Amino acid sequence: MKVEQQQWTSDGKWKFATDNILSGDADLVLAFGGRSVLNDSDRFSEVKEFYPEAHILSGSTSGEILDIEVHDDTISLTAVKFDSTTLKISSVNINDMEGSLQAGQHLAKDLLTDDLKHIFVLSDGLLVNGSELVRGFNKELPDSIFVTGGLAGDAANFEKTLVGIDKTPSEGNIVAIGMYGDSLSIGHASQGGWDPFGPVRKVTRSSSNVLFELDGTSALELYKTYLGDKASELPGSGLLFPLAIKEDENAEPVVRTLLAIDEDASSMTFAGDIPEGSSVQLMKANFDKLIDASFEGAEVTLRKLGGEAELAILVSCVGRKLVLGQRVEEEVEEVRTVLGDNTKITGFYSYGEISPLTPSVNCELHNQTMTITAFKEN
C-alpha cells in the first residue's frame, strides 16, 4: 500500500502534506472537507484531475484531521494505491430516515462476496437514522465482516451534510466501500471517555430516534435545565450532555448525541434510536479521560491489526471537538503516539461514528467517541 496526502486551504491552493509518490496513480481517494468547500464543483474537478482513475469518496465534516492537525473549512485529501486489495463501491440516496434500514441491507447485499474483508461507510449525517443503517448491515453480514466509518458533519450548524462518490457530494447519500482480498489486515476501536452523572432515567416516550419524555417529563425541558444560559444555543449546546443508553441491564451502553429539537412538539432528535423502556443517564466531559480514550482506542486498534499500520482513518465526534476546544489536537496526537510516525493519518469530526462494539456485532452507531480504523497490506 502506498499513501500520499494533500491539503486544500482557504488560499485556494493545494499543497502536498507528504511526498508525492503516486504520480496520480491511485485506487481510492478520501476527501474530507468543510461543507461550503466541498460544495464547489471545482474542487471535485481538481481532485479528479489529480487522480483520474481513482474512486473519489468525499464527505463534509465538523473539522478535518490531517496527520496530527485539526482544521476547519479545508480539504484533507488522502490517496491510496493498494498492492493487491480490490475495491467495490455501492451507494444509495434516501430522502428520509424511514429508508435507513433498507439502505444498510441493500449496501451489505451488494458488497457481500466470499472474499469480502471489510466495509468502510460514509453516510449523510442528518437525513439518515444511523441506528437503522447499522441494523441493516448487521442483518445481512456474517460475523466475520466488520463495518466502520461515520456520519458526515456540518460544523456545529446541523443544517445539511454532503457525501459523494465519483462526483460532487450532495445530500442524502450513503456510500459503502467493500475491500477484498487476503492481503489486507484491519484494526479498529471506538472509545469515549465521558463521565455519567445524575440519576438513571427511563425513556417513557420516544419514537425511533426522537425523544419526548424521560420519567414521564419533558426531556427537552430537562436538557434546558442542565444547559442554563446555553439552552438558547440548542441543538449545538446539547452536545455538552450526551445520553448513555442501555436497552436492558445486561447490554453494553451506547452514547447518543443530539441533532435537532422541535419546540412545538417538545421533542429532541438524536443521531440514533432511543427505544422506549431504555435506561439513560446524562454524561459530561472529563478532558483528561477524553484524551486518554483516544490513546486507549489506538492501542486496541494496533493489537487487532497485529502490526504497524500504513493508514489510519479517525472519525471523532463534533461534541468532543467542541468540548476540547483548543486541546482538540491532543486526542489526535495520542493516536499518533501509539501508531508511530510511519502511519498516514486522516479523518474528520462527525455526527456519528460507526464501529463494532463487541466481537459478535458487525457494527454499531456511536456518538461522542474517537473511532479508529487502521489498515495494512501483508
List, for residues 91-105, the tens digit of each pLDDT value.
999 976 579 999 999
Confidence (pLDDT) at 361: 76
Output 123 or 227, whichever has higher pLDDT: 123
To the nearest whole number, what is the mean pLDDT of the chain?
A: 94
Note the pLDDT of residue 65: 98
pTM: 0.91
Does the pLDDT of residue 359 top 80, yes or no? no
| Residue 358 pLDDT | 67
Q: Which residues pair with 64 in a beta bridge?
A: 71, 348
What average pLDDT score do residues 18-44 get? Answer: 97
Report whether pLDDT(360) > 80: no
Cβ distance 113 to 57 under 8 Å?
A: no
Please say whether the beta carbons of 106 and 135 come within 8 A.
Answer: no
CA dist 309 and 321 (Å) reads 25
Mean pLDDT over 191-199 rounds to 90
State the pLDDT confidence band at 230, using cuts at 50, 70 and 90: confident
More confident residue, 250 or 3: 3
Q: Distance between CA atoms of 243 and 197, rounded to whole angstroms? A: 10
In this predicted structure, what is the pLDDT of residue 224? 93
pLDDT-derived band at 328 (thresholds 50, 70, 90) equals: very high
pLDDT at 289 over 80: yes
Report d(CA 110, CA 308) in Å as an integer.
31
| pLDDT classification of 242: cutoffs 50, 70, 90 | confident
Q: How confident is the model at residue 151 (pLDDT cuts 50, 70, 90)?
A: very high
- Residue 88, C-beta contacts closer than 8 angstroms, at least 6 positions apart: 110, 111, 177, 178, 180
What integer pLDDT is reported at residue 97 of this predicted model?
59
